[in-house]
């Protein structure tokens, strides 16, 4: 009798898909491993294209009912899901940490509360959604946000439930149904979300979860004619594949991709703040798409910046992410660590100097690294490493800082440290980035548009922009009674 559950720290997780309100096992499985110690967590149903089709069929069957459900009722169910997340917050936190290696304390205090907030926010926003009617020679224009249909939501491993809820919540609020495909390295919390949603009263088929490899079931989801929206967070090459797969049906896509974001430190900045912002980039072992991995420092303060940075980074504690004293946990997978190490080795071979780090600690942990003596066109400056690896370049003038900041194919975010508000405004206006933080980092309001320029993404989600993406907008023009003017 095959086993269909696994247990993490006393929490039971169903390892099967969730399709049409039922658990469904695949004929084969893949192994889920904890990045903390390489322990085998269990065997997960490995989806096939037929199962992806079944999930889309379930989403399609459930769509008319959910789309016709009054907004107030949809909002009520989303709040009930948020309540369920709050109730199981500690369980979700430990399962997520065990599955992806990010810090337990941040899952408890920041991430999981934010997951609940995602559901509450989009529920409330739905009820407030509307555009003021406007008049065309006495004709009333009325804009509606109609549900679009089944959505394929594809998510990465670095912030699993956080990114899943960021997509699932607005999609459901909009009246759509969902097929969620979590990343194969971190499938567990999506399964728990399915349980929570079912308990909250979400009708069968409205949320479906299919597990498996993107290379095996991705195309089945993204090329499916019944899928009306694709929201994807992940890598640029995968986004290209999805765009091609979605092209025959012109399925609208929203992509949030990689970054190589800069942190600009001007000589007039509060240097301790700038150093704190720089060291913060090692969070989640550098596996954050928004991370400002390129530090650009104005020449006169560069020496002092490096001294203070080295001192502060030296105090970071690396270790078990379940320990409250830990600042940096493991990277996701030994294969990923090899990738990170390859980037650093090639950079050093090309002349870069490791001020700190520059090496792996073992097969799971990489030493926080700062590389100097790097050229703007070097691979380490141009490509996303997705590990605890930062580069430092210096600049003389503001214009040079902007040129370096904008000098990659990415444009996800930028951080500016300066004590001069006029400079902040001038520089911000010239930066190519979806989000710019001035003297702060990672402050994210759900009302704000989120996404990237250039290769960092297509489209924006967040606030009403999420509804714009997940809905078919319709303008209705109604003539006044007895009106004959067609001009
Ligand atoms: P990463 O480098 O962060 O793993 P990927 O883009 O490979 O980024 O993975 C992000 C998500 O995309 C994962 O859920 C993965 O399974 C999925 N994925 C990978 N290949 C495809 C594909 N061809 N079609 C759809 N999804 C895919």
Express each pLDDT in 448-472 by its tens digit.
999 999 999 999 999 999 999 999 9
Other Cβ atoms within 10 Å of 296 Cβ, number: 25
Which of 216, 219, 238, 383 to probe ligand 1 with, by most ligand atoms within 8 A of CB?
A: 238
The DSSP secondary-structure symbol of 302 reads H
According to the model, what pLDDT value does residue 1 have? Answer: 52
d(Cα 14, Cα 25) in Å, to the nearest integer?
10
Q: Report CA torsion sign: 240, 242, 245, 247.
A: negative
d(Cα 59, Cα 209) in Å, to the nearest integer?
10
Which of 217, 218, 230, 343 to probe ligand 1 with, by most ligand atoms within 8 A of CB?
A: 218
Is residue 216 annotated as part of the catalytic site, yes or no?
Answer: no
Other Cβ atoms within 10 Å of 322 Cβ, number: 18
Dihedrals phi, psi of 440, to nearest 5 degrees? -160, 175
As a residue count, the chain comes to 487
Q: Which atom of ligand 1 is nearest to the CA of 242?
A: 24
CA of 260 to the centre of ligand 1 (A): 19
CA of 387 to the centre of ligand 1 (A): 18
Q: Residue 81 pLDDT more than 70? A: yes
Residue ID of nearest Cα to ligand 1 atom 15 = 214
According to the model, what pLDDT value does residue 484 have? Answer: 67
Burial of 379 (0-12, 13-18, 19+ CB in 10 A): middle
What does the pLDDT average to over 15-19?
Answer: 98
CA of 238 to the centre of ligand 1 (A): 6
The DSSP secondary-structure symbol of 327 reads S
CA of 291 to the centre of ligand 1 (A): 20
Instruction: Please provide the CATH number assigned to the domain covering 262-438.
Output: 3.40.309.10
For the record, the structure tokens of 315 come out as: 């105090």
Look at residue 339 and give its three-state secondary structure. helix
Q: Residue 48 pLDDT more than 90? A: yes
Say if domain 5-257+452-475 classifies as CATH 3.20.20.70.
no
Q: Residue 486 pLDDT more than 80? A: no
What does the pLDDT average to over 249-262?
Answer: 98
d(Cα 321, Cα 99) in Å, to the nearest integer?
11
Q: Where do the domains of the chain lie?
A: 5-257+452-475, 262-438
Nearest one of 148, 144, 138, 214 to 176, comparing CA atoms: 148
Other Cβ atoms within 10 Å of 404 Cβ, number: 18
Residues with CB under 6 A from ligand 1: 154-156, 181, 183-184, 213-215, 218-219, 222, 234-235, 238, 241-242
d(Cα 119, Cα 179) in Å, to the nearest integer?
17
Which of 35, 154, 285, 331 to probe ligand 1 with, by most ligand atoms within 8 A of CB?
A: 154
d(Cα 320, Cα 325) in Å, to the nearest integer?
9
Tell me the per-residue pLDDT of 273-313, one tens digit each, with 9 for 90 and over.
999 999 999 999 999 999 999 999 999 999 999 999 999 99
Is residue 397 annotated as part of the catalytic site, yes or no?
Answer: no
Residue ID of nearest Cα to ligand 1 atom 17 = 214
Q: Which atom of ligand 1 is nearest to the CA of 157?
A: 3
CA of 349 to the centre of ligand 1 (A): 30
Average pLDDT, the chain: 97
Q: Residue 485 pLDDT more than 90? A: no
According to the model, what pLDDT value does residue 3 have? Answer: 87
CB under 8 A, 24+ apart: contacts of 428-433? 430/402, 430/406, 431/402, 431/405, 431/406, 432/406, 433/261
pTM > 0.95: yes or no: yes
Indicate the pLDDT class of residue 381, thresholds 50, 70 and 90: very high
CA of 432 to the centre of ligand 1 (A): 26
Q: Residue 487 pLDDT more than 90? A: no
Tell me the per-residue pLDDT of 149-172, one tens digit each, with 9 for 90 and over.
999 999 999 999 999 999 999 999
Say if residues 357 and 363 touch (Cβ distance below 8 Å). Answer: no
Angle (deg, nearest 10), helices 160-173 and 188-199: 40
Question: Euclidean distance between the first and final Cα of the chain, in Å?
Answer: 72
Other Cβ atoms within 10 Å of 234 Cβ, number: 22
Residue ID of nearest Cα to ligand 1 atom 3 = 234
Other Cβ atoms within 10 Å of 203 Cβ, number: 15
Say if residues 166 and 461 touch (Cβ distance below 8 Å). Answer: yes
Other Cβ atoms within 10 Å of 484 Cβ, number: 6
């Amino acid at each position: 009798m095959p086993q269909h559950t696994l247990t993490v720290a006393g929490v039971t997780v169903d390892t099967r898909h969730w399709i049409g309100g039922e658990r469904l096992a695949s004929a084969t499985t893949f192994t889920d491993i904890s990045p903390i110690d390489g322990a085998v967590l269990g065997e997960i149903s490995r989806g096939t294209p037929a199962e992806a089709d079944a999930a889309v069929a379930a989403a399609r069957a459930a769509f008319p009912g959910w789309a016709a459900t009054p907004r107030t009722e949809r909002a009520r169910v989303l709040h009930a899901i948020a309540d369920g997340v709050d109730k199981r917050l500690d369980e979700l936190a430990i399962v997520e940490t065990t599955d992806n290696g990010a810090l337990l304390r941040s899952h408890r205090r920041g991430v999981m509360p934010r997951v609940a907030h995602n559901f509450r926010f989009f529920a409330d926003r739905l009820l407030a959604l509307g555009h003021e009617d406007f008049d065309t020679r006495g004709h009333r224009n009325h804009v509606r946000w109609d549900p679009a249909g089944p959505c394929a939501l594809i998510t990465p491993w670095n912030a699993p439930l956080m990114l899943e809820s960021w997509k699932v919540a607005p999609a459901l609020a909009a009246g759509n149904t969902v097929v969620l495909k979590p990343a194969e390295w971190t499938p567990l919390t999506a399964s728990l979300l399915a349980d929570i949603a079912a308990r909250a009263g979400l009708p069968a088929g409205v949320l479906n979860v299919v597990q498996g490899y993107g290379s095996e079931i991705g195309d089945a989801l993204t090329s499916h004619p019944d899928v009306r929206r694709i929201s994807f967070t992940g890598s640029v090459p995968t986004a290209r594949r999805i765009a091609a797969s979605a092209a025959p049906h012109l399925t609208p896509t929203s992509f949030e991709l990689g970054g190589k974001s800069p942190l600009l430190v001007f000589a007039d900045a509060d240097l301790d703040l700038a150093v704190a912002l720089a060291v913060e980039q090692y969070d989640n072992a550098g596996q954050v798409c928004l991370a400002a991995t390129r530090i650009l420092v104005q020449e006169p303060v560069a020496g002092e910046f490096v001294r203070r940075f080295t001192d502060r980074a030296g105090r970071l504690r690396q270790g078990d992410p379940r320990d409250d004293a830990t600042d940096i946990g493991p990277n996701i997978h030994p294969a990923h660590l090899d990738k990170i190490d390859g980037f650093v080795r090639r950079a050093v071979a090309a002349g870069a100097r490791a001020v700190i780090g520059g090496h792996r600690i073992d097969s799971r942990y990489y030493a926080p690294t700062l590389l100097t003596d790097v050229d703007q066109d070097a691979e380490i400056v141009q490509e996303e490493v997705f590990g605890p690896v930062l580069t430092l370049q210096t600049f003389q003038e503001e214009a040079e800082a902007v040129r370096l900041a904008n000098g990659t194919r990415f444009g996800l975010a930028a951080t500016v440290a300066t004590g001069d508000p006029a400079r902040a405004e001038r520089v911000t206006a010239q930066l190519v980035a979806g989000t710019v933080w001035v003297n702060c980092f990672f402050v994210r309001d759900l009302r704000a548009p989120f996404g990237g320029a250039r290769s960092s993404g297509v489209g924006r989600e967040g606030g009403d922009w999420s509804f714009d993406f997940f809905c078919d907008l319709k303008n209705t023009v109604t003539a006044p009674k007895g009106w004959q003017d067609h001009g």
